Each structure stands twice: as C-alpha cells, then as structure tokens.
Chain A
Amino acid sequence: MSHDPWLIVLGQAAEPASRTPLYIIIVYMCALFALGWISSRLFRGSSKDFFVASQSIGPFMLLMSVFGTTMTAFALVGSTGKAFSLGIGTYGLMASSSGLIHAACFFFVGIRMWSFGKKYGYVTQIQFFRDRFESKGLGYLMFPILVGLIIPYLLVGLIGAGNYIGGVTAGMFPETFSLPDKVLPSGKEIANPLNGSVPAWLTGLVISAVVLFYVFFGGVRSAVWANTFQTIVFMIMGLVGFLVIAHGLGGLEAASKKTLEYAPEKLSRVGLMTPAHFMSYMLVPLSVGMFPHLFQHWLTAKSAKSFRLTVVAHPICIMIVWVPCILIGIWAAGLHAEGSLRVPPLPNGNPNANAVLSAMVKTFMDSPVLIGLFSAGVLAAIMSSLDSQFVCIGSMFTNDFVVPWMGKDRFTDKQKVWLGRGFIVFIVLITYVISIFKPTSVFNLGVWCFSGFSALFPIAFASVYWKRLTKAGVVASVIATTVTWSLFIYDALGNKGEKWFGESHAGEYLIAGVMPVTFICLASIIALVLVSLATKAPSQATIDRFFPTKG
C-alpha cells in the first residue's frame, strides 16, 4: 500500500472513502442499545438499584467497570497524542504511576468507603461526607464543585470522540460535510485533511444519545454491564489495532527504528521533561480516590472481597492499554518527522495531537473492517467512562441536592429516579454545547480535571484515617482547592498576557518546574490540617460511628 498521506488526501477529493468503518460503528452502537435494553430488564425499579445496582456486582464486573471508567479518551486518544509530543515519558507520567496510586486508593480508601456505604446505606460520596462531618451544608458546598469538575472530564470524552471520528471518517462524505481549504500560518494553502468527515457535533450527539439511552433505562447496572462489554472490546481491539499498525509499518523493529532515526528524542525523557516535572505528575492519579463516579462503582460491590481482583489486575490492565498507545505515538512522531505521516494541523499550524491516533489508523490500517472495529474500540473506551459519569451526576443531584433540600419523603422512589435522569440530560446538554465551541488538548484538559480531584483527595483520605479532621477543615480545604485551581487554570489557559505564576514548557504549564497540582494539593493539605487543629473536634458519637474499634 502507498503510505504517502498527500496521495491519500488527493484521493479523497476524487472519490469518497469507504464507509464500511462507519457502518461497523453504527452496528456497534445498535449492539449497545440492545445491551442497554437487556440490562434494563433486570432493573428493579428502585432508586437503590438505579444508583448502586443494589450492591450486587462481583469481582470481574467490578474490575471491568472500574477500569473502563478510569480509561477514557484520555487513555487512548490523549496518550497517543501526548507520546507524539512528549515521547515515552508519557507512560511514566500517568500509566505506571496510576498502577501504583489507583490501586493504593482502591485498597486504602475504596474498601473503607465501601464499608461505610454498606453499613449506613450511602449512595453517594457526599452522603458519606455529610454524616462524617455532621453537616448538611457541606454537601451543598461540595455538590457544585464536584459536578463542575466532572464537566471537563465529560468534555475529554466528547472532544476525544469528535477528533477521532473526524479523522477516521475523512473523505467519506465530501458532498455533505465539505470543508474549505486550510491556509497554514506560512501562507501555504492545503486541502483540508478533514474534508468530508463526520463533524464533531454529530459524533458528540450520537454517543451522548446512545449512552443516555442505556443509562436511562438501567442506571448504574446498565452502566456496569455496558462497561464490562466495552472494556473487553477496547482492550481486544486496541491490541489488534496495534499489531495491524505495526504490520503496516513493516514490523515492530522497523517502526521503532524509524523513530530512532528521525525523532530519537521521543525514546527518552531528556529535553522533554525534568525529573521534578515527572515526579510531580505522581499526584495526578490520586484523583481516583475522589472521583464521585468511582465512589459509586465501589458501592456497587457485592462484598469487600470483590475489590481484590480490581486492586491486583488494574495495573496490568493499564499496561495492556497504554503501552501500545505510547508506541503508536512515538512511531507517529518518527513518521511525521520523516514526512511520511500527515497529522491534521491546528490553526497555528502545529499538528493536532488529538488527531494522531486517527491519522495512524487511517494511514496504516489497510482493511476498512479493521478500521471500523478499532474505532468501535476507541468509542467503547470513551463511552465506558461517560456512562458512569452520567449516572453519577444524576445520583448526586437527587441524593445530595434535591432530597436534603426538599426532604426525603417529598418524592417517591420513582420520582427520584426521574429527577436524576432530568439532571443528567441538563448537564450533558451543557457539556455538549461547550464541546462544540472549545476544542482543546484532551490530555491537558484531563490533567486539569484530575488535578482538581487530586487536591480534594486529602479530604477523602483523612476522613477515614484522621479522627481529628473537622468540618471547618474540610470547608477550608475545598475553598483552598477551588481558589488555587481556578487561578492556575486561568493563568494557564485564559491569561493571554504574561503568566502570573508559571510558564509553558513543551505544551505543559509548569510552576517552578513542577505541575500545578503540587501547589493545589499543598494548599489543600495545609488548609485541611491547620483549620482542623484550630477548630472543635467532631463529636464522640461521630468518631465511634466512623472509627469502629477492632473486635
């Protein structure tokens, strides 16, 4: 096959590209509809079943749902794009550290949270915090902040899906979705590489609708079923896709040697990141300990023993998904430097990192059937996170906002489920509209979102290990996190003049050479500890309730 991307682009202008991949994606979406319908048959109609599947999920499904939930566009589209720019260090930044930190969060915090959920009947994280800190008001403070942090996470999924499908369907509909030629900053005019592709607004609309469908009818139970199915799909298709791309490049050795020849800097970390930058990234995976959607998945576990498989297998599952993505990313860097891979450019003329994976698939997979199956796998990874996040925001709205405000007897169980569904649609609409107008780097957006959750993690950790932690300490920590996170994100993304705190290096915003999460976490911990020590300790009854004595 010819690997000259310019010829591919010219070919698209002459005749539409094969639509077979798109048909396969449509069949996959129909399969998800069917799965959603089948799992909804098992829905027991109660809010407890809708929100935590009546705590009936066993080890394998818990692993698949927790792993599928943590892997989103960030893992496939984002990691490939980041490895394209930052090289192999990307794996150490997020994947290997997550193998250690995520599992630590499950082991040290998740099991305890599950035990409180089981004992006291919690459905959401905020319900636990309300009881633990004897404060209804704390829930009202945390609710908008947690929902606000989930929105960028949802955006990661929608933007990633739009970018990926745009790249892979380029040339399929030259009449319907034609795009004008692109003028590069150099003044050179090129045919738009995304001409004739399915636009991002349509991709976002379809995947939101499919996920909404199965979440609506079966709640978290459907999400768990769909996650299990989709996680298996994206793990298998990811490996198959990787091998096919490697074959298209003349084998694993030939592919890596090209990178060694044309982009050798991507094979190490020197010049791309510093040890301090690398080390500070270890704080980012702490976010899983505070993700409300993950908390909800923990609560679905049938027993504490269900966690065992998740704790052990999670690092391996991450490795299976991330290593191929990193290799594809560094191979793409070599090919791009050589001039044999064209990545759709951003308005500033730089290659769009979000489009690297689709460019590799489109260029080096011969078979439209394989492209379709691989693309279904990418969408599976994205949707397996969206579904949990959708259920979670509905659950939080109902249980953490409406019920405490209006009283638990104000609504029937059925009405509670419908309230949750209504709020899900509202948030999805907002996110969808933002996703159309604010396309940005999937990886960087994900890191900002995770940084906010990471800075709130000390609250989760201290709430199960530190008896002296007080409500005022938690409020101070939440405020410190919100203020520092907002200031830094504005400085990084919104401040067009001279930066106040940090500087951009290789596409990353760093403060004193480390990730902003370092300072956000520091502010959070200092506020948490100092204010807790300075305020009245929780009542003995609360301490007895959450720190049961052994035996």
Chain B
Amino acid sequence: MKKFVYALVILMAIIHQDIWWWDNKRLIFDFMPLGLFYHALFSCMAAGLWALAIKWAWPSDIEEWAEAEAEQGGEQ
C-alpha cells in the first residue's frame, strides 16, 4: 500500500496543474470562482491523502527505533 500512497502523491502533484480551467471565470454558488473552488477542494483532498498515508505508510520502524532508549552524545 505504501507504493499506492506514493503514486497518489504524484497524481496529486499532477492534478494541481489544472490547465483545463485556466481561463474559466464561472462562479460556483454565485460567489466562488471555479479555479479557487477547485483548489480549495484540492486542499481537502490533500488532507484525505495524508490520512491514507498515516494509515498505510506510517514509518513505524523509525518510530520504534527512536522511542527505544535514547543514546545521546554525538558531536553534541
């Protein structure tokens, strides 16, 4: 599922470039320009994507490693 999440991230980056509505001045609900509405929706979709990423691609190995006993004392 991790690969699916990564593919979705790339897909989102592509659909961010909404050239298909570049010159559309239509108002949705009589006040919201279509281009702005689409990108507001994009923000909601991004939130959904990251919720999926947490479910399917969470780096639990890193988390466990970090939360095991700390070993201070590198350069610091």
Contacts and interface: CB of A to CB of B under 8 A. Distances in A.
Interface in A252-283: 252-253, 255-257, 260, 264, 267-270, 275, 278-279, 282
Given A115-B65, A279-B17, A269 B35 contact: yes
Contact of B50 (A107, A112, A253, A269): A107
A95 B54 contact: no
A270 B73 CA distance: 56
A13 interface: no
Nearest to B17: A279
Interface string B9-53: 100110011110111110101111101100110111011011101
Contacts of B33: 88, 256, 267-268, 330
Nearest to A408: B76
Interface string A305-336: 10010011111101100010011001000000
Centre residue among A119, A131, A550 by max chain B CB count within 10 A: A119
A121 B73 contact: yes
Contacts of A305: 63
Interface residues of B, number: 46
Contact of B65 (A119, A282, A312, A327): A119
B43 A316 contact: yes
A122 B76 contact: yes
A120 interface: yes
Interface residues of A, number: 65
Nearest to B30: A253
B40 A304 contact: no
Contacts of A318: 43
**Dominant secondary structure at the B interface:** helix
**Dominant secondary structure at the A interface:** helix
Contacts of A308: 54
A96 B43 CA distance: 5
Contacts of B12: 100
B17 A550 contact: no
Given A260-B27, A269-B22, A92 B16 contact: yes
A141 B74 CA distance: 19
Contact of A118 (B16, B66, B76): B66
Contacts of A119: 65-66, 70-71
Contacts of B49: 100
A99 interface: yes
Of all A-B residue pairs in the complex, the 3 with the closest CB atoms, nearest first, are A115-B66, A270-B23, A121-B72
Given A120-B76, A311-B50, A319-B44, A275 B22 contact: yes
A116 B43 CA distance: 30
A127 B13 contact: no
A304 B63 contact: yes
A255 B31 contact: yes
Contacts of A270: 22-23
B40 to A, nearest CB: 5
A453 to B, nearest CB: 19
Nearest to B52: A312
Given A95-B43, A115-B62, A278-B17, 5 more contacts: A91-B40, A253-B30, A256-B33, A260-B27, A304-B66
Interface string A176-199: 000000000000000000000000
B63 A121 contact: no
A118 B40 contact: no
B47 A99 contact: yes
Contact of B75 (A282, A315, A327, A404): A404
Centre residue among B30, B36, B51, B65 by max chain A CB count within 10 A: B36
B50 A268 contact: no
Given A99-B46, A131-B74, A253-B30, A92 B53 contact: no
A50 interface: no
A121 B40 contact: no
Given A268-B25, A275-B22, A308-B54, A253 B43 contact: no
17 contacts: A91-B40, A92-B35, A96-B40, A99-B43, A99-B47, A100-B12, A112-B59, A118-B66, A252-B30, A255-B31, A256-B27, A260-B25, A275-B17, A308-B54, A315-B47, A326-B36, A327-B31
B54 to A, nearest CB: 5
A136 interface: yes
A151 interface: no
